[in-house]
Amino acid sequence: QTSEAEVVVFSVPSYACQRRTTLENHNAVLTDALALLAENAELSEEEGRGVAFRRAAAVLKALPRPVTSMTELRGLPCLGDHSLRVIKDILENGASSEAESTKQSERYKALKVLTGIFGVGAKTADRWIREGILGLQQLQESGQTLNRAQQAGLEHYDDLNQPVTKADADVISEIVERAVVSVLPGAQMTLIGGFRRGKLSGHDVDFLITHPEEGREVGLMPKVVSWLESQGFLLYQKTTRNSYLESKDGPGRPSSNMDRFERCFSIFKLTEKERRRTKHPETATENGLRTVSTPEPDPHTGHKLWRAVRVDLVVSPISQFAFALLGWTGSKLFERELRRWAGHERNMSLSSHALYDNKQRIYLRATSEEEIFAHLGLEFIPPSERNT
């Protein structure tokens, strides 16, 4: 029992982009509950509440050891009344009654199942729930018109709701690399998203593609997609065109956070054959052969020798590469906090394309992430420490 005066208070800066957050989390019980409430808020289109829970969880993730009493939280930023109530409940009772009842609620369960379909967002799921559709079977029987993405999402539902492993991400990296160098020698590809932050699993695999000579990347995406298609790697793809230069939003002020690179949302077909041909040092056995896990048996065909994986491709001109790399490495909260820091603390506008100084009225150039952090007056945080 420590007396009040002896309680060591943690010191945590208020923006997540000022902190080093590794994958090691000493407060997972607390942050899991807050993440669930954040997710529920986001699925209910209460973005503000969602962000508040995410920020609170991020502060707890940055602590060097488990929280054991409420007094230790004094002086910490981003912990609102609601989050504090949730934390108190867990510290006193071992679980958050609000998180538990949310998890059990029919609405949350239905939102999870329906938004688990690729191509279905919170709005669509909410509409379906109001029409009495709570699950996949009801959806299929309802005769709702599904777009192409949603049809593919439903078809590959189980695979796409299985986490993607780092080993599979590496196999896909090799395939995308082959595609990129085949259609444009000299083009470069970088793994981005959660896997660049060192995560061991993810919901998709994200890649950024560029060419060291400005302009050579134009027209690259359709060629990469055609190559992948011709080799039978794509179960689904939708490419959206770059509209950054044509946009009338003005400097550094895109109309939304959605960015304007040429982008391809796809579903890959990853076969056992591809998994075997790629050797991984970290999974190699003594005799040099890679151990391959037995594929999941398919209830219809007995054995399915492939799995579907969500893959996102982004093409950026080299002049914007550092901004794209920073903007697509995540985490989502880290990105949001970087933009908030830029705007509120530096009077600058940061996007995945550029950094604009609103006072000097100039774009600040950068060829590396380090330079962008320096422009923002922030200490450089490497990808593995952006796991907020």
Indicate which residues carry an active-site annotation.
204, 206, 312
Separation of alpha carbons 249 and 251, rounded Å: 7
Q: How far is the CB of 137 from ligand DGT (least distance, A)?
A: 26
Count of residues near ligand DGT by CB under 6 A:
17
The count of residues interacting with Mg ion (CB under 5 A) is: 5
Query: CA-CA distances (angstroms) from residue 366 to 64, 186, 379?
Result: 33, 21, 15
Q: Does residue 193 interact with Mg ion by CB under 5 A?
A: yes
| 19 binds, options ligand DGT, Mg ion, none, Cβ within 5 to 8 A by partner type | none
Residue in 72, 159, 206, 369 binding Mg ion, rule: CB under 5 A: 206
CB 180 within 8 A of CB 158: no
E-assigned strand segments in the chain: 164-165, 188-192, 201-202, 205-210, 234-240, 262-271, 306-315, 348-350, 355-357, 362-363
Q: Is 112 in the site for ligand DGT (CB under 6 A)?
A: no
* Residue 331 binding target from Mg ion, ligand DGT, none, CB below 5 to 8 Å by type: ligand DGT
Q: What whole-number distance in Å separates Cα of residue 101 and Cα of residue 108?
A: 10
Q: What is the DSSP string of 63-100?
A: -SS----GGGGTT-TT--HHHHHHHHHHHHHSS-HHHH
Strand partners, 356: 349, 363
Q: What one-letter code names the amino acid at 146?
A: L
254 touches ligand DGT (CB under 6 A): no
Span near Mg ion by CB under 5 A; candidates 9-17, 18-26, 204-212, 299-307: 204-212
Is residue 206 a contact point for ligand DGT (CB under 6 A)? yes
Return the residue nearest ligand DGT (CB atom): 330
Q: Does 352 bind ligand DGT (CB under 6 A)?
A: yes
The nearer residue to ligand DGT, 60 or 333, going by C-beta atoms, is: 333
Q: Does 168 bind Mg ion (CB under 5 A)?
A: no
Give the shortest CB-202-to-Mg ion separation in angstroms: 5
Residue with nearest beta carbon to Mg ion: 193
Q: Which residue in the set 204, 217, 274, 337 belongs to the binding site for ligand DGT (CB under 6 A)?
A: 204
Residue 328 partner contact from ligand DGT, Mg ion, none using kind-dependent CB cut-offs of 5 to 8 Å = ligand DGT
DSSP-derived secondary structure for 219-267: THHHHHHHHHHHTT-EEEEEEE---TTT--S-TT--SSSS--SEEEEEE
Nearest-10 Cα torsion for 210, 335, 308, 120: -120
User: Tell me, what DSSP letter sits at residue 373?
Assistant: H
Phi and psi (nearest 5°) for 75?
85, -5
The residues facing 210 across adjacent strands are: 188
**Residue 327 touches which member of Mg ion, ligand DGT, none, C-beta under 5-8 Å by kind:** ligand DGT
Q: What does the binding site for ligand DGT look like in residue numbers (CB under 6 A)?
A: 193-194, 199, 202-204, 206, 257-259, 327-328, 330-332, 335, 352
Q: What does the binding site for Mg ion look like in residue numbers (CB under 5 A)?
A: 193-194, 202, 204, 206
